[in-house]
Amino acid sequence: MNRRDFIQTSAIAMASGMTALGANDRINVAVIGVRSRGRDHITSYAKLPEARIAAVCDIDQAQIERAVAFTEKVTGAKPQKTYQDIRKLLEDKDIDAVSIATCNHWHALATVWACQAGKDVYVEKPASHEIWEGRKMVEAARKYNRMVQVGMQSRTTEHKIRGMQLLRDGVIGKVYMAKGLCYKRRPSIGHQPDGLVPAGVDYNIWLGPAAMRPFNPNRFHYNWHWFWDTGNGDIGNQGVHEMDICRWGLNKTTLPEVVVADGGKYIYDDDQETPNTQLATFHYDDCELVFEVRGLLTGGESSIAYDGANFIGNLFFGSEGWMSIDLKGFQIYRGEGRKLVQEMNYTEKEQWDTTPHIANFLKAVRSRNRQDLTCDIEEGHLSAALVHMANVSYRTGRKLHFDPNAERFVNDEEANSYLKRKYREPFLIPENV
């Protein structure tokens, strides 16, 4: 039996309930990508008695060793298995769910393969690297009856849930604009020459679906966010959280028909490809969504809280007032006098956290009801698609029209060329997942 036959057989078995978890069984989780966010995933699963960290997977052997030691420290037990190749991990019948904390360009492929292998999936934001593959993630989740949760933790954060409900209830009247702010200070990455692949790193698997190119340390740890092959800029890094809140607050379950984005990489002379300053506007039929990225020194805006060098949050404007909402709480102002009429503030301990979001994922793994998920893959796909639409407009340098039903740009082949990357074999997402 080849790998594809095996994973499809496994998926059918899982979907039919042949390996359904008992109420008292712990969920065997494998964490994929364990350097930074993956370490946070390990920390969260360690707090949840319903989960067992059964395996860790990373392209870097040194990171695997650190993750094994860290897991033992926080849980009292080492993971039973380690993998350097995700394909081998997905053949492991003892793994119930995977937690994906890889680079952006691996999110979709890892998710599709995991769904085909009968695994439930927690995948970091942004859900996808391009629009086409995001839709394939949704199709795979539905076809194989998998629970797929996207790591946008605001959806499981009490004050943000409350704030969005108040908008639905008309607290500021008819909402005509949502604005997302990603004013996150980013220093220059400088220049680095190509070099040797570090010992213990499987660079071929790290690249995965991305084009083969010489190893460069500036494209590796974290800075991969700033290169189009592997990342989506800060609008798709920090920004996708606030983009999701914009769409959530506007109560939009489809994509807009018009996008225009501009900006640039200013001040720095370095290797970064993505913009450090970006302004995008999306037009719906009855409102607009505005998003701004500033990675350089800047002031804040309205009541968005100052956090170190950063101002990150959302503003909603309505016919009767406006709302400011961020990590620390929300404030609602009404009337011509802009009177503060309601607020909800949190201490540092009560702020945004990964653990409740992962706990919500595990709840759905048990219930087999995707309605239990606070950020199902469909939600994650739509919010990531807004990021991608903005980046395509920026890269083509023009206003674009979009067909939300077909999820394609209208009469613009250059723009549509950015919908789907040319995947590098054998790291392929098929048309029919």
pLDDT tens figures, 57-67: 999 999 999 99
Does 8 or 113 have the greater pLDDT score? 113
pLDDT of residue 13: 42
Compute the average pLDDT of residues 382-402.
98
Residue 347 confidence class, pLDDT cut points 50, 70, 90: low
pLDDT of residue 19: 43
Residue 22 confidence class, pLDDT cut points 50, 70, 90: low
* 380 pLDDT higher than 80: yes
Question: Of the spans 8-12, 301-305, 346-350, which averages the highest pLDDT?
Answer: 301-305
Residue 77 in any domain: the answer is yes
- Residues 290, 203, single domain; the answer is yes
The pTM of the whole model exceeds 0.75:
yes
- Residues 212, 315, single domain; the answer is yes
Compute the average pLDDT of residues 271-278.
98
Mean pLDDT across the chain: 94
Q: What percent of the chain has pLDDT over 90?
A: 91
Domain count, the chain: 2
- Residues 33, 169, single domain; the answer is no
Residue 426 confidence class, pLDDT cut points 50, 70, 90: very high
* 372 pLDDT higher than 90: yes
pLDDT of residue 353: 83
pLDDT of residue 309: 87
Residue 360 in any domain: the answer is yes
Residue 56 in any domain: the answer is yes
- Residues 28, 162, single domain; the answer is no
pLDDT of residue 16: 39
Residue 297 in any domain: the answer is yes
Identify the CATH number of the domain in which residue 106 sits.
3.40.50.720
Identify the CATH number of the domain in which residue 233 sits.
3.30.360.10
Residue 367 confidence class, pLDDT cut points 50, 70, 90: very high
pLDDT of residue 308: 83
* 324 pLDDT higher than 90: yes
pLDDT of residue 386: 99
- Residues 105, 163, single domain; the answer is no
SS (H, E, C) the chain: CCHHHHHHHHHHHHHCCCCCCCCCCCEEEEEECCCCHHHHHHHHHHCCCCEEEEEEECCEHHHHHHHHHHHHHHHCCCCCEEECCHHHHHCCCCCCEEEECCCHHHHHHHHHHHHHCCCEEEEECCCCCCHHHHHHHHHHHHHCCCCEEEECHHHHCHHHHHHHHHHHCCCCCCEEEEEEEEECCCCCCCCCCCCCCCCCECHHHHHCCCCCCCCCHHHCCCHHHHCCCCCCCHHHCCHHHHHHHHHHHHCCCCCCCEEEEEEECCCCCCCCCCCCEEEEEEECCCCEEEEEEECCCCCCCCCCCEECCEEEEEEEEECCEEEEEECCEEEEEECCCCEEEEEEECCHHHCCCHHHHHHHHHHHHHHCCHHHCCCEHHHHHHHHHHHHHHHHHHHHCCCEEEECCCCEECCCHHHHCCCCCCCCCCCCCCCCC
Residue 18 confidence class, pLDDT cut points 50, 70, 90: very low
Could you list the residue range(s) of the whole structural domain that residue 165 is in?
157-351+384-416
Compute the average pLDDT of residues 65-76.
98
pLDDT of residue 24: 60
- Residues 148, 161, single domain; the answer is no
Residue 426 in any domain: the answer is no
pLDDT of residue 348: 54
* 9 pLDDT higher than 80: no
pLDDT tens figures, 197-214: 999 999 999 999 999 999
pLDDT of residue 8: 46
* 226 pLDDT higher than 60: yes
Residue 424 in any domain: the answer is no
- Residues 122, 233, single domain; the answer is no
pLDDT tens figures, 93-147: 999 999 999 999 999 999 999 999 999 999 999 999 999 999 999 999 999 999 9
Residue 138 in any domain: the answer is yes
- Residues 73, 50, single domain; the answer is yes
Q: What percent of the chain has pLDDT over 70?
A: 93
* 5 pLDDT higher than 50: no
- Residues 132, 199, single domain; the answer is no
* 10 pLDDT higher than 70: no
Compute the average pLDDT of residues 171-200.
98
pLDDT of residue 44: 97
Residue 301 in any domain: the answer is yes
* 418 pLDDT higher than 80: yes
